[in-house]
């Protein structure tokens, strides 16, 4: 049977009920698509989290690059190694004395 024939045989009350059921079904499907665990909100939250983690990853890569440069300098540059030892660890050369004046 054709859909047009089916709709022609419905009275106003049945047609209203059918339209109401259709609208409610669309609303329920829309709400499910929007609010479900795999819905649009969840997808949006995951996209934001991915962006945050990627930015943090880039920051850590840069920090690692700087630390690797510092390691290379410490291994290969005796003057830098001495400067770092004196500045960061208060180390002295043999027979060196520090005088503090207050």
pLDDT recorded at residue 38: 85
**What's the rounded mean pLDDT across residues 18-36?**
90
Specify the range with the lowest mean pLDDT, choosing from 15-19, 40-44, 46-50, 90-94: 90-94
| Domain range summary for the chain, segments of one domain joined by + | 1-35, 37-89
Q: At what angle do helices 40-76 and 78-89 cross, to 10 degrees?
A: 110
Residue 22 — pLDDT band, cuts 50, 70, 90?
very high
pLDDT tops 70 at residue 1: no
Tokens 């047009």 belong to residue: 4
pTM, two decimals, is 0.55
Q: Look up residue 57 and give its two tokens.
A: 């990853």
């Amino acid at each position: 049977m054709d859909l047009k024939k089916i709709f022609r045989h419905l009275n106003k009350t049945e047609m209203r009920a059918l339209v109401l059921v259709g609208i409610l079904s669309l609303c329920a499907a829309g709400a499910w698509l929007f609010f479900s665990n795999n819905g649009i909100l969840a997808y949006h939250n995951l996209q934001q989290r991915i962006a945050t983690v990627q930015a943090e990853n880039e920051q850590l890569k840069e920090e690692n690059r700087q630390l690797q440069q510092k390691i290379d300098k410490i291994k290969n540059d005796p003057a830098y190694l001495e400067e770092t030892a004196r500045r960061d660890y208060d180390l002295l050369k043999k027979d060196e004395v520090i005088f503090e004046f207050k």
